[in-house]
Amino acid sequence: MALAPPNELISTQNALKRTAMAWASGARIDMTDTRKLRHRAAKLCHTHYHAGIPLYRKACQRANVHGTPDIDTILDELLLPDDIFKSYPNELLDLRDFDGMNAWVSSISTAELDFCTDGLETIDEWLAAVAEHGIRLVFSSGTSGHLSFVPRDDATWGALTELPFLYLPYALAERGMLPAWKSALLKLAPGRIEPSRFAGLVQRYGLRATDGFFFAFSGGNQGIQLAGQELGKLTRKSHYLYPRDISAAAVRSIVRGPKSAAETSLVQEFLDTTIGDKNANYERLLRALSDCARTGRRVMLFGTPALLLEACDAVRRSGLTLKLPKGSGISYGGGWKSFTGERLPEEELLTMLEHTFGVPRAALSESYSMTEINAVMPKCAHARYHIPPFLETAIFDEALVRKHGEDQVGILGVIDPFATSYPGFLLTGDNVSLTHRSCPCGLQGPQILEIARSPGKEVKGCGGIMAAVNA
């Protein structure tokens, strides 16, 4: 069980949801009122965290923060490094000490996990058991193999799976990926439909005329894979490159090296799926994709840049000529690292996607997010990632001193008011270039221009995992 967020925080969150809908529709929102909403939510989150998260209480004690702090104090004293999500001793997993892992999750979240772990043999079995007790542990990994686990209760999981559908559909409509009548209805929604009902309608009808092709695993709790799975639920029919769950135990063993016969078996299964069966997997997807192109069914392709580049190569090797139907689109995210750990040239990928799938540049869309937050930042046609208005952001220098001004470069800090089962006051592992200047696309608020990992931070996600596979 987890401590439920207070009603006042829920009502403030709902006001921020309505603001996000209006913002995405192109309506002018009052930025001063929106800032006040964010700050009210942050203070309510502080009280909630202090009551239910032991780690956060310790952070307040170390910072000598008592009572309800103002927003400046939260930003300057109470942002926690995203390393908290992998702050457990690695030996706990090595020894299969899942009681110890339960105690760790309980220390960094509002959850109280005290169930019996006897008989649990693998990380994946433990993850499933934790989910049965109301907490979904979303994981990510990188070159160290030390997994991060982000604990989400029902409320925070609901935010993760609902929030993007309040504002991303407007970006799809802007790029011509929705029928005209759906785009027109979107414009009428803000102020007329409650956010939860609107998100439900989008999930039910938004992509029902679209077939989804996801260059990812069909199951499992790894960050970018989850995005594909949630999108797959919305499409008429979904096709996955890897039709199986991604195993946290396998990911950890791949990067660190297997330490037992059981781990060796998991690694082999992963390699069989991603490398041994690669050609068969691509042939299966390309047959279905070719059928959609032939019959005129619009499609959505989704994956990391590295996998989409690999898909282009698979099409080239197959000899197929594909021209996706009008209204089709390609979405990508998850970092620009290749399977060898090198940064992919963006223009090369975009040109390849246009040429391979016969889509215009406007049909290609990228978003920026991370496992630890419940926000997605869509990239507009002017190459800027737009920060939704419910997310408070700040930039810090290497000494963790907050920067000010219209243009800032440094470590990204966030306040996510929809993270209620874990501290949403975070210093991320990303270095960004952020501007508060107006964007030509018309969306209000700050934008991120460039993103890179902070010095000393490992490559996360598929880039780090597949770099280890190909090493």
Q: Where in the chain is the domain with CATH 3.40.50?
A: 207-244+272-368
Identify which of 387, 400, 395, 398 has the alpha carbon closest to the alpha carbon of residue 412: 395
Per DSSP, the three-state class of 410 is strand
Query: How many percent of the chain have pLDDT more than 70?
Result: 94
**40, 12 in Cβ contact below 8 A?**
yes
Give the pLDDT confidence score for residue 337 in this predicted structure: 55
* DSSP codes, 153-220: -HHHHHHHHHTHHHHHHHHHHHTT-S-HHHHHHHHH-TTTS-HHHHHHHHHHHTTTT-EEEEEEEEES
Rounded to two decimals, what is the model's pTM?
A: 0.92
CA–CA gap between residue 19 and residue 362 (Å, rounded)? 26
Per DSSP, the three-state class of 242 is strand
Q: Which two tokens stand for residue 226?
A: 């989850």
Q: What are phi and psi of 241, to 5 degrees?
A: -65, -40
Identify which of 177, 205, 200, 163 has the alpha carbon closest to the alpha carbon of residue 23: 163
CA–CA gap between residue 119 and residue 124 (Å, rounded)? 13
Give the pLDDT confidence score for residue 191 in this predicted structure: 86
Q: Which two tokens stand for residue 92?
A: 């706990």
Give the pLDDT confidence score for residue 335 in this predicted structure: 67
Q: Which two tokens stand for residue 196?
A: 């939860």
Q: Quick one: DSSP state of residue 3? A: P
Q: Quick one: DSSP state of residue 2? A: B
Q: Fill in the amino acid letter for 53.
A: I
Q: Which two tokens stand for residue 84?
A: 């908290």
Considering just the CA atoms, what is the radius of gyration of the chain in Å?
22
CA–CA gap between residue 424 and residue 223 (Å, rounded)? 17
Give 82's contacts (C-beta < 8 A, 6+ positions apart).
Answer: 148, 370, 372, 426, 427, 428, 429
Give the pLDDT confidence score for residue 347 in this predicted structure: 86
Q: Quick one: DSSP state of residue 222? A: B
Enclosing H/E stretch for 452: strand 447-453
Enclosing H/E stretch for 329: strand 329-332
Question: pLDDT tens track of the chain, all 471 residues?
Answer: 678 889 999 999 999 999 999 999 999 999 999 999 999 999 999 999 999 999 999 999 999 999 999 999 999 999 999 999 999 999 999 999 999 999 999 999 999 999 999 999 999 999 999 999 999 999 998 767 899 999 999 999 999 999 999 998 888 788 777 777 778 888 888 889 999 999 998 888 878 889 999 999 999 888 888 888 888 888 999 999 999 999 999 999 998 888 888 889 999 999 999 999 999 999 999 999 999 999 999 999 999 998 999 999 999 999 988 999 998 999 998 766 544 556 667 888 899 999 999 999 989 999 999 999 999 999 998 999 999 999 999 999 999 999 999 999 999 999 999 999 999 999 999 999 999 999 999 999 999 999 988 776 655 555 445 444 444
| Other CB atoms within 10 Å distance of the CB of residue 7 | 8
Give the pLDDT confidence score for residue 471 in this predicted structure: 45
Q: Which two tokens stand for residue 457?
A: 């931070």
CA–CA gap between residue 56 and residue 409 (Å, rounded)? 27
CA–CA gap between residue 443 and residue 308 (Å, rounded)? 28
Sign of CA dihedral 98, 100, 103, 105: negative
Give CA separation, 328 vs 168, 207, 232, in Å. 16, 11, 15
Give the pLDDT confidence score for residue 180 in this predicted structure: 78
Which CATH number is 207-244+272-368 given?
3.40.50
Sign of CA dihedral 279, 285, 287, 289: negative
CA–CA gap between residue 203 and residue 410 (Å, rounded)? 36
> What is the 3-class SS of 124-172, one letter each residue?
HHHHHHHHHCCCEEEEECECCCCCEEEEECHHHHHHHHHCHHHHHHHHH
What is the residue whose two structure tokens read 């029928």? 179
**374, 163 in Cβ contact below 8 A?**
yes
